[in-house]
A and B are shown apart, each in its own frame.
Chain A
Amino acid sequence: MTGILLLRALSVRNQRVWVVFLALMVGAAIVNALISVYFDIDIKMSRELRTFGANVYLGPAHGHSLPEADFDRLAAAAPPGLVAAGSPYLYGTARSELENVALAGVRFSALRALVPYWQVEGAWIGVDFDDRNAMIGRTLAARLNLAVGDSLSLIRDGRKKTLRIKGIIDAGDASDSLLFVGLELAQDWLDKPGTMSHALFSMMNRAGEVERFADELRAAHPDWAVRPIRKVSANEGDVLVKIQGLMGLVSIVILLLSTLCVNTSLTAIVSERQREFALQKALGAANGTIIRQVLLETLAISLAATVVGCLAGFVLAQVLGQTVFSASIGLRAWVLPITFALSLSVALAAAALPLRRIMYIQPASVLKGE
């Protein structure tokens, strides 16, 4: 009989049941999507902010240089997936056929990930072993009157090394005055084999992981100066906290609105069914029996709405992921129980007052139409 009452009661109040269903479904969908994005956002944001370039500096604590091997030691010590890109940098002065130039040796293969904001006329150099091409800052290029495709010769102790300009860099910083060559060539030309001035890394800053890793490295290697480049890392953390806070706030507002909407609909349903409940009481139904019956109806709608809401939420999360981060949002199984718990809590909170009204229905007066 309970099953019959449940199914029939739901089927005859299509409009109100649909309102409750939609309110809970929309709430579940948005909350599900925001929770999914919330827990994915640090990774996605970190990737986005990597476009601002390197965020970790490794240099000597004392002196002017470090062994190049330290670069590899740091990379090996990093947790898996933390280091997105990195390159040793070696600086020095070289004499060209025209005038002295500031030389920077780098691993070209990592350069694009470390300085993605560079505007390059011509082309990037893609491989580390290229010792016939160079990239030049636009200020230096202008001073030497060099264009893409031109050649520049370095001269030292009777040796001459001719480099073809493959790309002119517009970085908006000191790089505009540098000549970039392969690290090995720079080490050889500056006579500093196996040495670097410092190294720059681009790391994924998941939940402040970079700060923690830097602290560990400082403790383990007192001869290293390791520091996050706060311009990016700190902003990254701040932005994450703000966005996550905003998402939490939006979720709370959505849940409150859902609760209000469900509460209004359930109040109307209880009011419409007053005679029915009065009759049930007159026939001997206890308050608890009727409340359980309405609660069961509410939970049935909630469960159906949450299942559909979770599916819609997953789709919405993908839309948000693609729109904002151009990446898909991972499906986390544990988001589902959280969504179900929140959705059912909303339904129960919304039902509390209407259910309480059932207790005060007086069958004698209601059945008499008073």
Chain B
Amino acid sequence: MPEETRENPVAAIEARHLSRRFGSVAALDDASFAIARGEFVALMGASGSGKTTLMNLLTCLDTPSSGELRLNGVDAAGFDEEARREFRARHIGLVFQQFHLIPYLSALENVMLAQHYHSVTDEASARRALEDVGLAHRLDHLPSELSGGEQQRVCIARALVNEPPLLFADEPTGNLDAENEARVLDILRRLHGEGRTIVMVTHNPALGAYAQRIIRLQHGRIVP
């Protein structure tokens, strides 16, 4: 992995002229922006606006066609697959709209899985992560035995257990009812309050309002 250089010591994420093309189609076109450490930013836009494409680049699930990308001070644009994998494991926490829990592992084991791919498993800290999202009583339950809100909180605990500096949430309340949506947003706000950098993808303006700042996308371009 490239050595960490800090051109902008305040920026957690810094993109310059970032583009991603699929054939002749530009899913993301010349995006430039910066997200400060500790900032809570919402990526918003209609379907097909390029939110997911940008999210995939920021979470190192994809590589840009051109442009610069610095994540936590590291040049991520030129990462090969192995470097992207390692960066994801060490620096990025992912919260998915569809939770993506392993169905045959308990809540605790699902959280420990992230530790397993990061370094070593630590049951005590996995328990603490679940306790922090209010699931101390659901440690040994399988995902099928949890409500949607509980599954999303397990997903958040899994994203946080390795204490990554960057937390990405892709439509984190998209599959939740109002009560669970409020609960998940409370957790995100608390994490933001603790100084964590959070990037949340949403198409819901009400959710976007929870963020400090909104980056809007339209037809693959950032718009004011």
Residues of A near any B CB (own CB < 8 A)? 1-2, 4-5, 8-9, 11-12, 275-276, 279-286, 289, 363-364, 367-369
Cα-based distance from A281 to B61 in the complex (angstroms): 9
Beyond A280-B113, A283-B113, A364-B62, whether A1 also contacts B121 by CB under 8 A is: yes
Q: What are 17 of the A-B contact pairs (CB < 8 Å)?
A: A1-B115, A1-B116, A9-B104, A283-B113, A283-B114, A283-B118, A284-B85, A284-B89, A284-B114, A284-B118, A289-B117, A363-B61, A364-B52, A364-B56, A367-B96, A367-B98, A369-B98
B62 lies within 8 A of A280 (CB): no
Task: Say whether B194 faces chain A, with CB atoms less than 8 Å apart.
Answer: no
Q: Are B85 and A1 in contact (CB under 8 A)?
A: no
**Is B1 located at the chain interface by the 8 A CB criterion?**
no
Residue B3 interfacial (CB < 8 Å): no
Shortest distance from the beta carbon of B53 to any chain A beta carbon, whole Å: 9
Query: Do A282 and B82 have beta carbons less than 8 Å apart?
Result: no
Given contacts A4-B105, A283-B94, 14 further A-B contacts (CB under 8 A): A1-B113, A8-B104, A8-B109, A12-B104, A279-B100, A282-B61, A284-B88, A286-B82, A289-B117, A363-B61, A364-B56, A364-B61, A367-B100, A368-B52
Provide the residues of chain B in CB contact with A369, threshold 8 Å. Answer: 98
Contact yes or no, A282 B88, CB < 8 A: yes
Q: Is B42 an interface residue (CB 8 A)?
A: no
| Set B90, B103, B117: member contacting A285, Cβ < 8 A | B117
In chain B between 101 and 140, which residues have their CB closer than 8 angstroms to a CB of chain A? 102-105, 109, 112-118, 121
Total B residues in contact with A, Cβ cutoff 8 Å: 29
- How many A-B pairs have beta carbons closer than 8 Å: the answer is 61
Interface of A is mostly: helix
Q: Which residues of A contact B61 (CB under 8 A)?
A: 282, 363-364
Q: Is B86 close to A, CB under 8 A?
A: yes
CA distance A227 to B52 in the complex (A): 87
- CB-CB < 8 A to B121: which residues of A? 1
Inter-chain CA distance A4–B56, complex, in Å, is: 30
**CA of A276 to CA of B113, assembled, Å:** 12
Q: Measured between alpha carbons, how far is A364 from B56 in the docked complex, in Å?
A: 7
Selected from B52, B103, B109, the residue in CB contact (under 8 A) with A12 is B103
Q: How far is the CA of A1 from the CA of B116 in the complex (A)?
A: 7
CB-CB nearest 3 A-B residue pairs: A284-B89, A364-B61, A284-B117
